[in-house]
Chains A and B, each alone.
Chain A
Amino acid sequence: MNALPRLLLATALATSPALMPAAVAAEDLIIGFTLDADTLDPANHRKRETETVIRNIYDGLLTRDPDMRVVPEIAESMTQVSPTIYDFKIRSGIKFHDGTDMTAEDVKFSLDRVTVEGAMGDGQTSPRQGLMGPVASVEIVDGDTVRITLKEPWPILPAMLPNQQIVSKAFVEANGTAGMATMTNGTGPFKLGEWRKGDAIILQRFDDYYGGAPDIEPVGAACVDRAIFKIIPESASRVAALLAGDVHIINELPTFSIAQVKANAGTDVMTVNGTRSFFLAMNMQGEVFDDLKVRQAAAHAIDKNLIIDRILDGTAARIEGILSPDAFGASELPAVAYDPEKAKALLAEAGYPDGIAITMDTEGAFKDTAEAIASMLTNAGIRTTVAVGESAQLTEKWRTAGKPKSGDMYFSSWGNGSLDPFDIFTPTHKTNDRGNSAGYANPALDTLLDSAAIEMDVDKRAAMYREAELMINADQPYVYLWVPQDIYGVSKKLSGWKPSADSRINLHDACIN
Chain B
Amino acid sequence: MTDATLSHTPPADSLFRRNLRDFRRNRLAMVSVIVVLIFVIMTVAAPLVAPHDPNQTDLFRRLQPPAWMEGGDWAFVLGCDGLGRDILSRIIYGARISIFIGVVVIVLATGVGILAGLAAGYFRGWVDVVIGRIVDILLGFPYLIFAIGLMAMMGPGLFNIVLALAYKEWVIPCRVVRGETLAVRELEYVEAARALGAGSGHIMWREILPNIMSPVIVVSTIRMANVIILEASLSFLGLGVQPPTASWGSMVSDGRSFILEAWWVSTFPGLAIVLLVLAINVASQGLRDAFDPRFSE
- Please measure, in the bound complex, the distance between the C-alpha atom of A395 and the C-alpha atom of B262, giving whole angstroms: 33
Contact A368 B242 (CB under 8 A): no
- Please measure, in the bound complex, the distance between the C-alpha atom of A236 and the C-alpha atom of B259, giving whole angstroms: 7
Q: Of A236, A254, A306, A388, which is within 8 A of B242 by CB?
A: A388
Interface: B59 (CB within 8 A):
yes
Interface: B239 (CB within 8 A):
yes
Give 20 new A-B contacts, CB below 8 A, not counting A11-B263, A386-B244, A388-B242: A14-B259, A236-B259, A236-B260, A256-B82, A256-B257, A257-B261, A310-B60, A311-B59, A311-B62, A365-B238, A368-B83, A371-B244, A372-B83, A374-B243, A374-B244, A375-B56, A385-B242, A388-B238, A388-B243, A390-B152
Residues of chain B lying within 8 A (CB to CB) of residue A260: 260-261
Known: A11-B263, A15-B263, A260-B261. A372 touches B57 (CB 8 A): yes
Interface string of B31-65 (1 = CB under 8 A from A): 00000000000000000000000011101101100
Known: A310-B62, A389-B156. A364 touches B238 (CB 8 A): yes
Question: Which A residues lie at the B interface, using CB under 8 A?
Answer: 11, 14-15, 235-236, 239-240, 243, 254, 256-257, 259-260, 306-307, 310-311, 363-365, 367-368, 370-372, 374-375, 385-390, 392-393
- Please measure, in the bound complex, the distance between the C-alpha atom of A370 and the C-alpha atom of B57, giving whole angstroms: 12
Contact A367 B254 (CB under 8 A): yes
Contact A240 B260 (CB under 8 A): yes
- Please measure, in the bound complex, the distance between the C-alpha atom of A259 and the C-alpha atom of B260, giving whole angstroms: 11
Smallest CB–CB gap between B68 and chain A, Å?
12
Residues of chain B lying within 8 A (CB to CB) of residue A390: 152, 238-239
Smallest CB–CB gap between B249 and chain A, Å?
14
Which 5 pairs from chain A and chain B are nearest by CB? A364-B238, A310-B59, A375-B57, A386-B243, A14-B263
Known: A311-B82, A367-B243, A390-B238. A306 touches B59 (CB 8 A): yes
- Please measure, in the bound complex, the distance between the C-alpha atom of A243 and the C-alpha atom of B60, giving whole angstroms: 27
Interface residues in B81-108 (C-beta closer than 8 Å to A): 82-83
Smallest CB–CB gap between B159 and chain A, Å?
14
Q: List 16 A-B contacts (CB under 8 A).
A: A14-B260, A236-B256, A240-B260, A256-B261, A260-B261, A311-B59, A364-B238, A365-B238, A368-B83, A371-B83, A372-B59, A375-B55, A386-B243, A388-B243, A390-B239, A392-B152
Contact A371 B260 (CB under 8 A): no
Contact A236 B257 (CB under 8 A): yes
Residues of chain B lying within 8 A (CB to CB) of residue A372: 57, 59, 83
Known: A375-B57, A387-B156. A370 touches B243 (CB 8 A): yes
Interface string of B148-169 (1 = CB under 8 A from A): 0000100110000000000000
Interface: B267 (CB within 8 A):
yes
Residues of chain A lying within 8 A (CB to CB) of residue B239: 364, 390
Is chain B's binding surface mostly helix, strand, loop or mixed? loop
Residues of chain A lying within 8 A (CB to CB) of residue B57: 371-372, 375
Residues of chain A lying within 8 A (CB to CB) of residue B244: 371, 374-375, 386
Smallest CB–CB gap between B89 and chain A, Å?
15
Residues of chain A lying within 8 A (CB to CB) of residue B258: 256
Contact B257 A389 (CB under 8 A): no
Smallest CB–CB gap between A398 and chain B, Å?
14
Residues of chain B lying within 8 A (CB to CB) of residue A240: 260
Most buried by B among A240, A311, A385, A388: A388
Contact A393 B152 (CB under 8 A): yes
- Please measure, in the bound complex, the distance between the C-alpha atom of A310 and the C-alpha atom of B261, giving whole angstroms: 15
Closest residue of A by beta carbon distance from B258: A256
Smallest CB–CB gap between A110 and chain B, Å?
38
- Please measure, in the bound complex, the distance between the C-alpha atom of A146 and the C-alpha atom of B267, giving whole angstroms: 61
Contact B152 A386 (CB under 8 A): no
Closest residue of B by beta carbon distance from A376: B57
Residues of chain B lying within 8 A (CB to CB) of residue A364: 238-239
Smallest CB–CB gap between A142 and chain B, Å?
55
Closest residue of A by beta carbon distance from B265: A256
Smallest CB–CB gap between A216 and chain B, Å?
35
Closest residue of A by beta carbon distance from B62: A310
Q: Of B62, B156, B257, which is within 8 A of A235 by CB?
A: B257
Contact A388 B83 (CB under 8 A): no
Contact B60 A363 (CB under 8 A): no
